[in-house]
A and B are shown apart, each in its own frame.
Chain A
Amino acid sequence: MRGRSGARRVSRALLITLILVWSAFPIYWALNTSFTTLNGAQSVPAHFVPSPFTAQNYKTLLNSSGGVGNQFWRSFLNATIESGLATVLTVVIALFAAYAFARLEFRGKRIILVAVLATLLLPVYATLIPLYRIMSSVHLVNTYPGIILVYTSGFLPLAIWIMYNYFASVPRELEEAAFVDGATPVVALWRVMIPVSLPGIAATAIIVFLMGWAQFIFPLVLSSDLTTQPVTVVVAALYGQRIVPFTLLNAVGVLAAALPGVIALVLNRYIVQGVMAGSIK
C-alpha cells in the first residue's frame, strides 16, 4: 500500500474513470435526451447538455389522463405488484426449503437439491411455450396470479441457492443453544436462523425483485393487455409504434429505470453480498 508510484495511481484513476463512463454513460445520455425538445435532441452535432432544457416530457408522463402516461403508470403498477408478490412468495418458499437443505438430513436430499439447481441451467424457452399452454388451460393467462406463479417457479432455484449458502455458513452453535432450550427445528428457524440471516434474506429478496421487474418474454406472451402488462412490454411496444418521439421515449426509459436503479444504488451492498455469496461453490 505504501510507496505506490504516481504513475500507478494515475493509471488506476484512469481505469476507474473508464469503468464509470462505461457503466453510466448510456443512462446519462438517456437523461440528457429526455430533458430536451425533439429539435434539441436531433441537433447535429449532438448536445451533451440538454439545450433547450425542458421538463415537458416528464410533465406529459405524469399527466396520467393522456395515452402514454396512462399506459406507463398502469404498467408500472403491474410490474411492481407482480414482482413484489412473486418476491414474497419466492422468499418464503425458498426460506423453508433452504433451511431443510442446510440443516436437516433426510432421504433424497441430494437428488432434490441437484434437481432444483439443475433447473438453473434450463434455458428460458424450455418452459416458455408449455407454461403458456398450461396457464391458458387453467384460464390464468393475463391475470396477476398466473404471472406471479410463473415468476416464482423461475426464481426459486436461484433464491434457494443464495439462501442455502447463507444458512450453511451460520455456525450451528447458535441453534444448538436453542435446541438445548427445547426448541423444535421450526422454532430454531424462526428464532435463530432468520434473524441472523436477515442480510442474506434481504439480498435474495432484492435480487429476485429486480429480476422480476426486468422480465420481458414471459409477460410478452402471458399478458395480452394493460390489465397485467409490466413496464418492459409497454416500453418495447412504444419503441416499435409510430408516433412517440425519441425524447418522450427516453423519458419513459428513465422513469422505467428509476425504481430498479434507485434500489440498486441504495441497496447495493446487499446485491453484491448476495451474488458473491452465491458464487462460492
Chain B
Amino acid sequence: MSGERTPTGRKRPRKRGRFLPYILLSPLVLFIGALALYPTILTTVQAFFTVNPMDPPTRFSGLANFRALFHNSFVRQSAANTALYIVVGVGLSTLFGLGIALVLQRRSRWRGVVLALVVLPWALPAVVESVIWGWIYDPTFGVLNSVLKSLGLINSDHVWIGIGRIVSIVLIELVQVWQITPLAALLILAALQSIPQELYEAARVDGAGRWEMFRRVTLPLVRPGLAVAMVESLILSLNVFDQVYVLNGFAPGGASIMMQTYQISFNNLNFGQGYALSLLATFATMLLSLLILAVVYRRVEF
C-alpha cells in the first residue's frame, strides 16, 4: 500500500493511516480479549483446580476433576444422550434443509412468502418454542396424542417425554431441529444459487436426466454449503440446553452435556468440575467440526 499512486498520480497518505487499523480494532480486541479469550483461558486453567464454595480454598488438583467426571454415571449418560442429540440434530436439519432449499431454488411469486414463514422458527426464542411444543407433546391434552388416536395409530395416550429415553431425546431434539432447519436451508440455498447454470445446460446437452443432474452437478457443488450447515447444526445440537431445560428438567434420561454442566456448576456448586466438563466438550466440538469439514467439504471444479 505504501507508495501506491492513484490514477491521477497523487500519493496516498501514509503516516496518518498507520495506527488507524489498530484504533478501529481496539474495541473489538478489548471485548474479545476480556470477555471471550480470557474466560476461555480461565476455563482451561481452572479445570485443573478444585473450585467449590463448599470446599474452600481454591487449590490445584491436577486431573482430579476429570477423573471424577469419568466416574460419574450421570455425566457419562449425558454424553451418550448428547451423541444422540447430535445425530438427530445434524441429520434431520441437514436433510430437511436440503429438501427445503431444493424446493425453494426456483424463483416464483410465492417464494418470498414461503421463505418468510420458513425463517420464522429460527427467529423465535428456543424457550418459547419448547413451551409450545411441550403443550403439543402433553400426554393428556396434547394434539399429538389426539391426532394419532383419531388416525388409529395408537390406542391410549402415550407419555412421550420421560419414559422412553430414545423417544424423549428424539422428540426434544425435534424442537431444536424445527428451529435450526431454516438456517441450514438458507446456507444450502446460498450454495445452490452459486452453481452456474451453464453446468446444468452442459449436463442436459449430454443427455442427463433430472436425477443424474442432481447427482453429478448439484450434490458435488453443494458440498461446501452442506458442510457449513452441518457444522452449524453440530455446534447448536452439541450445545443444546434451552429445550432440554424446559422439556426434560433435571431428569438424567434426557440430560445433555450443557445441562449437566449447569447442574454441576450451579446446583452442586462444583465449579472446578464444571470447567473440566466445558473443556472436554469444547475439544469434542472442535474435533467433530474438523471431521465434518474434512469429510464433507470439498471444493469441486469442473
Contact = CB atoms under 8 A, between A and B. Distances in A.
Residue with the greatest number of chain B CB neighbours at <10 A, chosen from A94, A127, A213, A269: A127
Interface string B235-266: 10011011001100100000000100110011
A78 interface: no
Contacts of A275: 183, 186-187, 190
Interface string B167-201: 00000000000100011001101110110000000
A67 to B, nearest CB: 18
A26 B129 contact: yes
A150 B190 CA distance: 31
Interface string B210-249: 0000000000000011001000000100110110011001
Nearest to B45: A130
Given A23-B117, A134-B39, A275-B187, A129 B131 contact: no
A16 interface: yes
B208 to A, nearest CB: 17
Contacts of A256: 125, 128
Contacts of A239: 130-131, 134, 246
B35 interface: yes
Contacts of B266: 221
Contacts, number: 285
Contact of A232 (B128, B140, B143, B146): B128
A19 B228 CA distance: 22
A214 B125 contact: yes
A39 to B, nearest CB: 11
B24 interface: yes
B302 interface: no
Interface stretch (A58-66, A102-110, A192-200): A102-110
Interface string A202-237: 000000001001111100110000000001110110
B21 A109 contact: yes
B77 interface: no
B255 to A, nearest CB: 14
Nearest to B46: A130
A157 B29 CA distance: 11
Interface string B7-24: 110101100111011101
Nearest to B284: A123
**What is the predominant secondary structure among interface residues of chain A facing chain B?**
helix
A161 B13 CA distance: 28
B294 interface: no
Contacts of B8: 180
A184 B14 CA distance: 10
Contacts of A130: 38-40, 42-43, 46, 275
Contacts of B134: 239
B110 A16 contact: yes
Given A96-B24, A123-B281, A12 B103 contact: yes
B21 A23 contact: no
Interface in A229-275: 231-233, 235-236, 239-240, 246, 249-250, 252-253, 256-257, 260-261, 263-265, 268-269, 271-272, 275
A127 B40 contact: yes
B245 A45 contact: no
Contacts of B43: 126-127, 129-130
Interface in B36-52: 36-40, 42-43, 46
Given A123-B235, A126-B282, A271 B123 contact: yes
Residue with the greatest number of chain A CB neighbours at <10 A, chosen from B25, B43, B286: B25
Interface string B107-138: 00010101111111111111111111111101
A197 B34 CA distance: 29
A260 B127 contact: no
A125 B43 CA distance: 9
A97 interface: yes
Contact of B120 (A27, A93, A157, A217): A27
B123 to A, nearest CB: 3
Given A19-B100, A44-B141, A122-B36, A217 B31 contact: no
Given A116-B32, A130-B40, 14 more contacts: A19-B100, A26-B133, A94-B28, A123-B235, A129-B43, A184-B13, A184-B16, A216-B126, A232-B126, A249-B135, A257-B128, A272-B119, A275-B183, A281-B224
19 contacts: A27-B120, A44-B141, A44-B146, A121-B286, A124-B239, A125-B277, A126-B43, A180-B7, A216-B127, A236-B127, A250-B132, A257-B124, A265-B120, A269-B112, A272-B115, A272-B119, A276-B189, A276-B190, A280-B194
Interface of B: 1, 6-8, 10, 12-13, 16-18, 20-22, 24-25, 27-29, 31-32, 34-40, 42-43, 46, 96, 99-100, 103, 110, 112, 114-136, 138, 140-141, 143, 146-147, 149-150, 178, 182-183, 186-187, 189-191, 193-194, 224-225, 228, 235, 238-239, 241-242, 245-246, 249, 258, 261-262, 265-266, 271, 274-275, 277-279, 281-282, 285-286, 289
Q: Name the 4 nearest CB pairs between A and B, nearest first.
A: A153-B35, A264-B123, A130-B39, A276-B190
